[in-house]
Structure 1
Amino acid sequence: MTGRPDLIERTEELLVLNSITTAALQGAGSVGLVVGPVASGKSVLLSALGEQAGAAGATVLRATGAQAEAGTPLSIVGQLLHQAPLDADGAVRTRHLLAVAARATGPDQLPADLVQALCGVLFDLSKTIPLLICVDDAHHADPFSLQWLLFLIRRLGTARIAVVLTERTARQHPRPAFHAELLRQPHCRRIMLGPLSHEGVVHLLGTRLETERAAELAPRVDALTGGNPLLVHGLLEDLRSSTRHSLDQYPAGLGDGFAFSQAVVSCLHRSEPAALAVARGIAVLGDQASDHLLGQLLGLFPSLVAGVIDGLHSAGLLEDGRFRHPAVRTAVLHDTDAAELSALHTQAARLLYGQGAPERAIAEQLLASDRPGEGWSTRVLCDVARQALFDGDADLARRSVEHAHRGCTDPRERAKVLTLLAGVEWQLQPGSATRHLPMLTAALRAGELDDRDSVVVVKYLLRHGRITEATHLLEHLLTLGRPIDARTASEVQTVKLQFSSSYPGALAELRPFGSCNVNQDRTPAAVRADPQLQAAAALDEVLSGRADENTFLGAEQVLRSIGLTYRHWEQVEFALLALVYGDQLERAAFCCEQLLGRVGRAAEGIRPPLLALRGLIAVRQGRLVDAERYATSALEQLPWNAWGVNIGLPLATLLMTYTLMGKYEDAAQLLNRPVPQAIYQTRYGMHYLFARGEFRLATNHPHAALDDFLICGEMMQDWDLDLPSVVSWRSAAARVHLQMGNHQQAKVLIDEQTKRLQPGPSRSRGLTMRLSAAVAELKYRPSLLRQAVDDLQRCGSRVELALALADLGYAHQNLGDHKRSRIMMSRAWQLAKEQSAEPIQRGLSSMFSELREEVAPAPATEVATAEAAGSTASATDGLSDAERRVAGLAALGHSNREIARELFITVSTVEQHLTRVYRKLKVTRRSDLPSDLCLVTSGSAWYAS
């Protein structure tokens, strides 16, 4: 019998109870009191005792207390006596006594003679048959039944009667006098039931599952149920149901099943009256729950709450004042009426706000209530939304600001919240934010937005390419002539630079910048302290030709420290553009990768424009495969119409990449896509025109290409953005003139571009030196091209480096140095192949064909060399810095003496370095050196560090 699953770890308790019934059978009346938490198995134990007592010859009379009948006089007595096997006269007499007793119940207790007469019915019956009286849930018994039970128990003596009661564990018994009197009886024994031990849980699980699986699940089940048998049985039922579908999947959702949920609810409904309310309060308050706060929320005394919480701990539902598992909380919430739950959350928010609780905790209550909040709730929800964006919690940010907007009735406050909502949506899904722009522009014109939010709306319009509206609204704002604070001044300065750097075509329409009454500290210290100003200052210095190393360090500092939120995108863009237009491509690529790694779900709207910038960096580095991937991904992640004029940047990058890779059909399809007409008023239009010109030049339309380059140049000159590092339109136009035989026009353009170069090596100088060589006398070309190669090596511009190497090889060939020519062209071919630059590969093959030398296809030895170099490229990581510098120059065809002179070392040192390089890379000659050594630069050392 004790092997039953519902009697696991109850053997000793059942033996004690059997000894009580045995004593009664032998004429020694006895009493047992079984005490345990709710659902701990008291009723099961009592039922098993009744079965065994009945088998032993006793007559079992059963009664069950119920909370609903706790006020019904003699409800327990009636249940017992109506089951008694009385003869007809005895039954009539008993019914009469119960009727009289029901009418005679006073405010406190029954008359003693009636109690004695009712007890006499059982005493007389026990003379002929032994009795076992079982009262389950005695804590729900009415006072008169308890009076009768005590009278009976005190007079058991030698009667063949055993009385066994069960009651729920409680900090304070509801009938303390009855409890004290019962326990002082000498023939009364108390049996305490506790939760199942770990071994008990394993045993119970083993009745339904394989032994190994039971042992594996037991720790999780124990933690989830606290050893409460009813909860464990609920889990078992869910496990059994789920294994019908997949035995391997059922542990994943442990606690999420219907049977477990019902077991939780059953425990609460069977607990003391306030237990369900307290459980609901804990479910609502979560980590903020305390005895005092629960009492305020539910209108209960804290002491009562503390007692109920003790009971819930004993039942295995709580641990350290919190639900053991989210599934328990879910079950409690699902059992609560929606209107009641909403009211609890609303009251909880009010209480938490009054106590100065964390704003996030208050916001969670407001959101859960799904009701309009009070006046203070709007500020709380908006603050939480901003912080949630910073923390990466996209869902909380969106829900908070949407709830604030729904509950806000004041026009000015509602417009402010709508500004935040548009920003949140732009950060999460830019395309959806455009729907708010009409209302925001109307609010701005109506004077419902403060100055800072007004500037933010202007930035929204610019982001979506609505330049005319942005221009008019900013003009409207600035002509008001009222003083603005420092933070708003930073926003104005950002928008000003945004117009001058990205939308310069519209800047001419804005005259009131100077009339804006701005009180702003523009000292260097103030600029460094404000990331917004620092980013703007960095880009301004680059575009005005005043940039130095401090400029780029400042831009990097901004990118390292700035948060990726809707308010900070312009700072991110400015700082990255400062690095890109300053020809700091490796630094820009590193920072951009770091930013992309930080983009989470709460900043998905920032990813597409960030990818577009990463593509621009990659194509300038000559990393065509990467550029194609970044630009394509940017265009895929944001609908075409959501880009506005900003579509020009990823479109130009992809167009340029396709052109350099020889994918002319793909490029032509891009050009067939319509772009906003306003794009030609923007920086994005410059990039687009330049890329279109490159495509036209590559596809033998030089005149159309020249038009695009010259128009691009006119725009840059008009807008005061005429820097080669922004768009090198002069070098592109010079190439067209060279192709058409107009050497003099090409030289004029190249000389003009040379004057505009910034000091020091750069990608722009490398491009310019390569073209300078094209218009120079043959004897001067190698020197100019070596300088171009050196500059392009330093900035890591692979495709441009391949072209410069090819030109250098061709120059050496014309000068009769065939060996060096083959090395240069081989290196160029390798670089072009690595980046899938098919037109360059074809051009090199054509050049070699003309010279009766082939670099591709096989069986040329240079192709084998290139493949071998590719296979050893990863081995270059094992070279020291000195070895890499020597090997890099050797890979470019320099002699040992030239390398020694370049690096200021001896020829013997060069020979020693090369010996070690050959051994490490397992090559035997210079032509076998991998092509990535051509990119060794001292200028990239900062990146390695």
Structure 2
Amino acid sequence: MTPPRTSSPVLVGRGDELAALTGAVASQPSVVLVAGEAGVGKSRLVRELLGRPELGPLRVLTGFCQPLREPFPYGAVLDALRTVGGYLGRVSLSPVTGVLRPLVPELAGHLPDPPERPDDPRHERHHLFRAVRELLSALGPVLLVVEDLHWADDGCRHLLRFLMADPPPNLTTLVTYRREDAPGGMPLGSAYRPPAGVASVLVELGPLDVDQVHDLAAAILGVDAVPAEFAARLHERTAGLPFVVEEVLRALRDPDWRLLDAVEVPALLRDAMAERLAGLPATGRRIAEAAAVLGVPATEDLLAEVGAVAPDRARVALTHALHSGVLHETADVRYGFRHALAQQAVYDTLTGPERQRLHLRALRALDHATPRPFMQLAEHSRRAGLRDDWLRHGEAAADRALEVGDPSTATHLYQRLLDEASLTPADVDRLAVKLGQVARGGLDQHDPRATLERLLDDHRLSTAARGQVRLNLGFLLIRQFDGPRHSRVVLEHAIEELSARPDLAMRARAVLAQPFVGATPLAEHLRWLREVEAFIASRADDEVRFALLANQLGSRMSIGDHTVMEELDRLPGTAADVAVRRHLARAHCNLADAFALVGHFDLARDFLDRGLRLTVGAGVPFTEGTGQSTRLHLDWYRGDWGTLADRAARLLEEYREMLPVAGEINLVLGCLAVARGDWDAAERHLADCGVRSVENSITPVALGGFAALTRLWSERGDPARACAEADRGLDLARRKGVWAWLGELAPAAVDAFRAAGRVEDAARLVAEFDAGLVGRDAPLAQVALKVCRALLAERDEAAFLLEEARRAADELGLRYYSATLSERIARVALERGDDEAVAALGEVAARFDALGASRDAARCRHLVRGAGVATPSRRGRRGYGNALSPRERDVARLLARGRTNREIAEVLFLSPRTVEQHVARVLRKLGAASRVDLLA
């Protein structure tokens, strides 16, 4: 038998996957995601793809993510761009691409001068994203490959998500990743849904089966076939992982296949690498061992220094390591292992003392590098047993990660450092406080929560530091679905422990003063508010003052405190100090949310834009998330529903575990589903907006959820259930005592009570609502109060009050609210016998259609039909050919959710026979033979 090859000459068992990749690349713009565990063959599949003649003159740009990466946002993508200078000589680029000059110096001579830094910091990142996109679009057909995305930085994920969401027509983006190592199992940080017109394919690579292992073994060994029992045993020992199969077979000098039975796979893999290492000269082995210890691709000089190989012998030693297949060349003339398993196998051949010695050499070699590779220095210090250096470099790496906007890396490092048993009390105090500070502004909640809770029982923690840990734990709890109620207890305890730090104790009071959390009565919040206000007046320190104002102004505005309008100049537009800028970002986003709650929607958008600008580069993803959910809610109010559901669903994937953000997003999605008659989706989303546990809710969001549920059951013809949801919501409102938040619940409740004959309850509610708004600045609630009065008034007065309410809604820019009021006005006119009522209902139906409120539009048309008038056409009488008509789109959407004809008829106010005809046309136009095919 011929000696085994270093790898299979043919690709085995991946024909379908390769065809899928080839087809996607040929259909630019396109996105390809290749997922699979370590050793399953992702990189080999990509190499095979790059050799396909079908790719034609495709320019391939490759970037690699590293496990010991230094904090450097966008690193893998920027690395991939370093080689494109030769293609830019005759290309005209816009000024925005100049932002890449300091980031990709290899391209400096080909790029225009950097543009002026934008006044809006949020635009700075967008300029970078646009610059990358334009550069790629100037290169002709491009395949951008990013390997091992599970190790990417957050900035790289965001940039790739931007490119995938709106790719230039000449671009294919291909990423490989291990799902189990990606944050949350999502390599891009949130779920990816390809936009229209972008080809997309997800390839999930699994282990090979027995037959495929047989074929792979035969190809590697250079024979036509191997015995079935050998293939079965090899499959058993390697679990079908192609890389492990290759490594095992590579170690077989003697074709005695019974050797497979002698040892388990991990040992086989180690032995394979050990044997290959043994075939190297001593210098070549030291180079390979240095590469294993370094853990990331390194230059020849660095490998020689760590491996203690003389410079004049290093090149020969490296060549031996390359020719033996131990090492391979990566980008930028660096050398490492072709797979993490190979690196680990070589590392495992070293004894403990040998590892320690090499880590010490790596530490010395990297100690003077510029910029400082703190992450690598920390890891080498830890593995070398240098506790003090590990602490120093690890903390520096975490601090640096936080500076560049990578809080997840910082959180992970602080946690690892705190696991060290030999830390001094001072170390524990400092690191515990830092962990809490970064964790409360980041997205990862559960691991930091567990660490902080464990630290509270650490005897080394001082009382003052324990108070800060408890304070930050309280901040975390208030963001979790099961946490707000418990957070109050934690924060009150923290106040006692922070007696020596009144500034921090006051920040706990500022959170306790926030009225929009849980069912705590407003009177208790006001007590805390007064204490915080008095403290602010006595402090001149900017960071402390703005940290408290960030909560204080939003809290007061959210309950309709009109005096806040006179104090907005207390907030500057920005600040040079990053810590102060974080507080200002939070202050503006909190005020934006408060303005949206009470109905100052223009102010809400203005403050939201300022707040989101301030979050750029500040390392506060949670604040950014709350701002994004506020924007979605504002778009709901304004009627910007075109892409609202998709945007909300994407954001929900990213913030699903964070109560303030996820609750509000679920409310928006639930309200959209009610307007479209998608009852199941509405119930599912509204159940997750706080209505199931009001003590642990964001109160105004929960009240909005009760309003939507009341409308839902009213629409479904169940007045008793509608009243039950209204009663639950009003019970929360009465316990809380903030009537400014009933802009949606009050009209829905009055409607439900009237339908159920509970007129006295409706009148009582209106009286309470009226009294609760005295002296409050709450435009949305005032519109709702007019609607409530109209619902209880006689017909003529009702028409007048509804007209007045609609004008007020129009002034606030509430398109959907205005349309529902227009429908009420038309219905009153219809009851009076007004000849123009039918035409008015038709116009309202068109307004609902424009918004996407298909259930509301169908209800208006149903009323017109009930009046004995032909239903007004939505878009004239034109034919739609093979395209779906608006009504057919409504039917298709409900079909796709598994609805029966009867359920569709109920939602769209159609007869079952009409629905049957629509269903037939939908199936025909979409090329589906049945409902099952459509669902598939």
- Select the residue among 496, 510, 518 that pairs with 1:503: 518
Read off the aligned partner of 1:458 and give its amino acid letter.
G
Gaps of at least 5 residues in structure 2 are: 1-50, 63-81, 84-218, 225-241, 251-270, 323-327, 887-936
Read off the aligned partner of 2:561 and give its amino acid letter.
G
Aligned partners of 2:223 and 2:627: how far apart in 1? 49
Q: List aligned pairs for 1:3-14, cutoff 5 A.
A: none
**TM-score, structure 1 as length reference:** 0.50
Q: Which residue of 1 aligns with 2:816?
A: 799
Q: Which residue of 1 aligns with 2:677?
A: 662
Summarize deviations over 1:17-49 as a string: whole Å, max 9, x none: xxxxxxxxxxxxxxxxxxxxxxxxxxxxxxxxx
Contact 2:561–2:776 (8 Å) recurs in 1: no
3-state SS of the aligned residue for 2:817? helix
Contact 1:579–1:588 (8 Å) recurs in 2: yes
3-state SS of the aligned residue for 1:479? helix
Q: List aligned pairs for 1:262-411, cutoff 5 A.
A: 277=286, 305-308=310-313, 323-326=333-336, 337-338=349-350, 339=352, 342-344=355-357, 346-348=359-361, 351=364, 360-363=373-376, 365-366=378-379, 370=383, 373-385=386-398, 387-388=400-401, 391=404, 396-397=409-410, 400-410=413-423
3-state SS of the aligned residue for 1:852? coil
Read off the aligned partner of 1:460 and give its amino acid letter.
L
Contact 1:806–1:828 (8 Å) recurs in 2: yes
Aligned partners of 1:471 and 1:682: how far apart in 2? 15
3-state SS of the aligned residue for 2:501? coil
- Tell me, yes or no, if structure 1 residue 758 matches structure 2 residue 771: no
Compared CA separation, residues 527 and 467, structure 1 to 2 (3 A): same
- Tell me, yes or no, if structure 1 residue 479 matches structure 2 residue 496: yes
Contact 2:789–2:801 (8 Å) recurs in 1: yes
- Select the residue among 839, 842, 860 that pairs with 1:844: 860
Q: List aligned pairs for 1:367-766, cutoff 5 A.
A: 370=383, 373-385=386-398, 387-388=400-401, 391=404, 396-397=409-410, 400-410=413-423, 412=425, 413-414=427-428, 417=431, 427=442, 429-433=444-448, 435-436=450-451, 438-443=453-458, 447=463, 449-464=465-480, 465-480=482-497, 482-484=499-501, 486=503, 488=504, 491-492=507-508, 494-498=510-514, 500-503=515-518, 505=520, 526=542, 530=546, 533-534=549-550, 536-546=552-562, 574-585=590-601, 616-622=633-639, 649=664, 652-664=667-679, 667=682, 675-676=692-693, 678-679=695-696, 682-700=699-717, 702=719, 705-706=722-723, 708-709=725-726, 712-713=729-730, 715-716=732-733, 718-724=735-741, 727-736=743-752, 738-739=754-755, 740=757, 748=767, 751-752=770-771, 755=774, 758=777, 763-766=780-783
3-state SS of the aligned residue for 1:503? coil
Higher relative contact order (CA 8 A, sep 6+): 2
3-state SS of the aligned residue for 2:692? coil
Compared CA separation, residues 555 and 440, structure 1 to 2 (3 A): farther
Compared CA separation, residues 420 and 327, structure 1 to 2 (3 A): same
3-state SS of the aligned residue for 2:520? helix
- Tell me, yes or no, if structure 1 residue 864 matches structure 2 residue 876: yes
- Tell me, yes or no, if structure 1 residue 831 matches structure 2 residue 847: yes
Contact 1:441–1:457 (8 Å) recurs in 2: no
Compared CA separation, residues 737 and 374, structure 1 to 2 (3 A): same
Aligned partners of 2:513 and 2:879: how far apart in 1? 48
Q: Which residue of 2 aligns with 1:95?
A: none
Compared CA separation, residues 704 and 219, structure 1 to 2 (3 A): closer
3-state SS of the aligned residue for 2:740? coil
Aligned partners of 2:572 and 2:441: how far apart in 1? 25
Read off the aligned partner of 1:845 and give its amino acid letter.
R
Contact 1:295–1:305 (8 Å) recurs in 2: yes
Summarize deviations over 1:206-250 as a string: whole Å, max 9, x none: xxx999999999999xx99xxxxxxxxxxxxxxx989999xxxxx
Aligned partners of 1:212 and 1:637: how far apart in 2? 37
Summarize deviations over 1:604-655 as a string: whole Å, max 9, x none: 989987776566445444567866556666776677xx66798765555555
Contact 1:505–1:682 (8 Å) recurs in 2: no
Q: Larger Cα Rg: Structure 1 or Structure 2?
A: 1
Read off the aligned partner of 1:404 and give its amino acid letter.
L
Cα offset for 1:456? 0.4
Compared CA separation, residues 729 and 410, structure 1 to 2 (3 A): same
Compared CA separation, residues 367 and 494, structure 1 to 2 (3 A): farther
Cα offset for 1:730? 3.5
Relative to its length, the structure with more helix (as a share) is: 1
Cα offset for 1:382? 3.8
3-state SS of the aligned residue for 1:385? helix
Aligned partners of 1:307 and 1:817: how far apart in 2? 100
Read off the aligned partner of 1:461 and give its amino acid letter.
L
Aligned partners of 1:382 and 1:213: how far apart in 2? 47
Summarize deviations over 1:386-406 as a string: whole Å, max 9, x none: 543564657744653443233
Aligned partners of 2:467 and 2:729: how far apart in 1? 35
Contact 1:660–1:839 (8 Å) recurs in 2: yes
Contact 2:543–2:583 (8 Å) recurs in 1: no
Cα offset for 1:542? 3.7
Aligned pairs, number: 624
Q: List aligned pairs for 1:143-158, cutoff 5 A.
A: none
After superposition, the CA RMSD in angstroms is 6.6
Compared CA separation, residues 719 and 383, structure 1 to 2 (3 A): farther
Contact 2:713–2:719 (8 Å) recurs in 1: yes
Cα offset for 1:439? 1.6
**TM-score, structure 2 as length reference:** 0.50
Aligned partners of 2:594 and 2:879: how far apart in 1? 38
Aligned partners of 2:517 and 2:697: how far apart in 1? 11
More displaced 10-residue stretch of structure 1: 588-597 or 354-363: 588-597
Contact 1:541–1:551 (8 Å) recurs in 2: no
Cα offset for 1:449? 3.1
Aligned partners of 1:212 and 1:729: how far apart in 2? 60
Contact 2:670–2:685 (8 Å) recurs in 1: yes
Read off the aligned partner of 1:409 and give its amino acid letter.
S
Q: Which residue of 1 aligns with 2:227?
A: none
Read off the aligned partner of 1:864 and give its amino acid letter.
G
